[in-house]
């Protein structure tokens, strides 16, 4: 998996799991998971489509290694035969967005193929520098408003 760019608006407040009423400052991350299509298992269906189910996971840790947040999401795709053939020969991408407390010093990303039960993880030190390409896009302004 590879981590994608970061669009870094000012930190915002988000509720955390331990105390729903507590607020913490967070950094918003956009993560691109890219997998070789040949490493995924797809099940053929009777309707000539192919199904795969992936679990995306993200966990953040503080300086002492204590877990601060953890999220996971499950996604299923059914692909037509032509699209499946392209993915099997190339790459398959999935995107996820997460909010991580500013006090986090690392994030662990995981991806599990539910069809084969294969799992991969990577730990990344924080903060991740913003992607210059995405940051430029976020700074582009709208055309000026014409006076009436």
Q: 22 falls in which pLDDT band (50, 70, 90)?
A: low
The string of pLDDT tens digits covering residues 121-135 is 999 999 888 777 766
The string of pLDDT tens digits covering residues 89-148 is 999 888 999 999 999 999 999 999 999 999 999 999 998 887 777 666 555 566 777 777
The string of pLDDT tens digits covering residues 23-50 is 779 999 999 999 999 999 999 999 999 9
Q: How far apart are CA 73 and CA 111, in angstroms?
A: 10
Q: What domains are defined for the chain?
A: 12-130 (2.60.40.10)
CA terminus-to-terminus distance, the chain: 51
Q: How far apart are CA 148 and CA 141, in angstroms?
A: 20
Q: How far apart are CA 50 and CA 52, in angstroms?
A: 7
Give the CA distances from residue 106 to residues 15, 16, 32, 91, 120, in Å, rounded to whole numbers and listed in that order: 19, 17, 17, 27, 17
């Amino acid at each position: 998996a590879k981590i994608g760019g970061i669009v870094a608006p000012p930190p915002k407040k988000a509720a955390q799991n331990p105390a729903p009423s507590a607020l913490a400052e967070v950094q918003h991350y956009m993560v691109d998971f890219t997998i070789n299509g040949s490493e995924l298992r797809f099940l053929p269906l009777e309707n000539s489509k192919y199904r795969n189910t992936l679990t995306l996971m993200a966990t953040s840790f503080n300086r002492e290694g204590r877990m601060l947040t953890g999220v996971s999401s499950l996604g299923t795709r059914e692909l037509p035969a032509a699209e499946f053939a392209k993915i099997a020969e190339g790459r398959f991408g999935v995107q996820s967005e997460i909010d991580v407390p500013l006090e986090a010093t690392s994030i662990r990303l995981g991806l599990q193929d539910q069809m084969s039960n294969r799992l991969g993880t990577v730990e990344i030190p924080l903060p991740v520098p913003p992607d210059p390409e995405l940051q430029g896009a976020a700074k582009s302004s709208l055309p000026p408003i014409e006076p009436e």
